[in-house]
Amino acid sequence: MKIVGLESLVFGVDDIGGAARFLVDYGLTPVELSDRGGRFEAMDGTAVVIARQDDPALPPGPVPGCRLRKTVMGVADEATLGAIAAELRRDREVRRLPDGSIESIDDAGFVLGFQLTARRPFVLAGEISNAPGGVVFRPVNSLGVPPPGSVIRPRSLSHVVYFVPDVVKAEAFYVNRLGFRCTDRFTGTGPFLQPGGSLDHHTHFLIGAPPHMHGVEHFTFHFGGPSEMITNGYRFVEKGYQAFWGPGRHILGSNWFWYFNSPFGCHIEMDADMDQHDASWRPREATASADNSQTFLLKMRKKWYPGPGIPENGDYA
Amino acid sequence: MATTRDGAPPGWVRLCRSDEIGEAQSRGFDPGDEGQDRLFVVRWQGQLHAWRNACPHVQGAPMAWRRDAYLNAAGTRIVCHAHGAEFMPDSGLCVQGPCRGERLSPIALVVDADGELFVKS
């Protein structure tokens, strides 16, 4: 099944204005914005959609309190859409919506949508590192650090992470019914999952958790590279948003990360430079400790050489 | 409590004027200049309450989604914007989410005769 990845995530919120400002400050572009909600797109058109939490058009979340109301995946062709519908109709309702998409539910209670992907292809070089002996270099006189005031935009909706009460059952649904592959696994926690039409290390990660945790841990968009992503993160912090973890780089998937609190009842991440794998990749397995999750974690310092403003005993405490 | 507008008695730290925090509003404070708010104050049904900015569901998890934004839109619950835990503003009891039944850590506060708000440092 050629599922190419996430197309959009739909949230029900209690403050449309606050959530909209948050997403714009994150870097997404608002379209169709009103006091009832809106759609906020990355460069390729993948998006976060928000609506009022009491909007009757929203499907229910998996549990009360979970603000994610629908996860929409893109597929490459009508054949895949038909194959998904036929497969899921074996044991559950599949609705065909007026826009041509289909809607059903996974085995953990998350409402799913599937549509022909509307991703807009674009070509824009990602971050390039200059290295002695390298093959690809940045153009001479171009700068590695995004200059102040430069526009930084998320490129594409990357992945979503679910807390699920039965991770074995949840994984089986995505692998056996929708053709996802496990790329790597945290022992006793859950799998990183890749759909058949993507090379990304993961578009889904499942975390086995007690029923009262059922919901979303985080979601994230890909940025053009670590320098761009971390610059965007610092701008986000300066606007008053609350960082949780990062900036750093994961081990499984190699993606650079920076996590923030959000008005969606879960974390939001900024990520960059995730590994790509094909079917020849052999999944690794590791315990989900902090040491196995961050290969390094960066810290800003305000002063880096002695001079005016440095306390008598230095700035190294 | 004997103090002046500019100073605080030993063991207490001045945060702000108490009337700067309106009904159903919250505000974070970083009295130690640690770079992240250590505590926040909410006014709920007229009374001020101070809580450590640390959700019990993950050790030390900061709770606001934006500076001073610790409450839901209606101002009726403290919300941890990491994983959605909801707390009563007056008792700190978690009533929904990943740490249901647990409580936020309270911080002693006092308002002096001039209306200045202090917390235990």
Q: Write down the domain spans for chain B.
A: 17-120
SS3 A238: helix
What pLDDT sits at residue B65?
Answer: 96
* Pairwise CB contact (< 8 Å): A15 & B73: yes
Q: What is the ipTM of this complex?
A: 0.90
Answer yes or no: are the C-beta atoms of A231 and A145 closer than 8 Å. yes
What pLDDT sits at residue A214?
Answer: 94
What pLDDT sits at residue A312?
Answer: 60
Q: Is A187 within a domain? A: yes
Nearest Cβ partner of B65 from A66, A215, A263?
A263
Domain of residue A208 covers 3-120+154-297
Q: Is A138 within a domain? A: no
Q: Is A145 within a domain? A: no
pLDDT at B59 > cutoff 50: yes
SS3 A130: coil
User: Which residues of chain B neighbour A14 with C-beta distances below 8 Å?
Assistant: 72-74
The total number of structural domains in chain A stands at 1
**What confidence tens digit (pLDDT) does each residue in A137-155 have?**
999 999 999 999 999 999 9
What pLDDT sits at residue A58?
Answer: 97
Q: Is A246 within a domain? A: yes
Q: Is A18 within a domain? A: yes
Token code pair at residue A212: 């009262």
Taking the Cβ of residue B97 and every Cβ of chain A, the question of whether any pair is shorter than 8 Å is answered with yes
* Pairwise CB contact (< 8 Å): A64 & B79: no
* Pairwise CB contact (< 8 Å): B66 & A18: yes
Answer yes or no: are the C-beta atoms of B73 and A15 closer than 8 Å. yes
Among B81, B95, B96, B99, pick the best mutation site for testing chain A contact (most A Cβ within 10 A). Answer: B81
What pLDDT sits at residue A307?
Answer: 67
Given the structure tokens 């005016």, which residue do they identify? Answer: A308
**What confidence tens digit (pLDDT) does each residue in B20-49 have?**
999 999 999 999 888 889 999 999 999 999
SS3 A175: helix
* Pairwise CB contact (< 8 Å): B84 & A22: no
CATH architecture for the domain at B17-120: 3-layer Sandwich (2.102)
What pLDDT sits at residue A317?
Answer: 42
As a whole number of angstroms, the distance between CA A37 and CA A95 comes to: 23
As a whole number of angstroms, the distance between CA B20 and CA B116 comes to: 10
- Give A213 to chain B, closest Cα distance, Å: 5
* Pairwise CB contact (< 8 Å): A265 & B84: yes
Taking the Cβ of residue B73 and every Cβ of chain A, the question of whether any pair is shorter than 8 Å is answered with yes
Walk along chain A (317 residues) in steps of 10 and give the mean pLDDT of each run: 97 97 98 95 98 97 95 98 98 97 98 98 96 96 93 98 98 98 96 98 96 94 97 96 95 96 97 98 90 82 66 54
Question: Where is B51: in which H helix or E strand?
Answer: strand B47-52
Kindly report the CATH number assigned to the domain that includes residue A94. 3.10.180.10
As a whole number of angstroms, the distance between CA A63 and CA A58 comes to: 14
Q: Is A128 within a domain? A: no
- Report the mean per-residue pLDDT for chain B: 92
Q: Is A142 within a domain? A: no
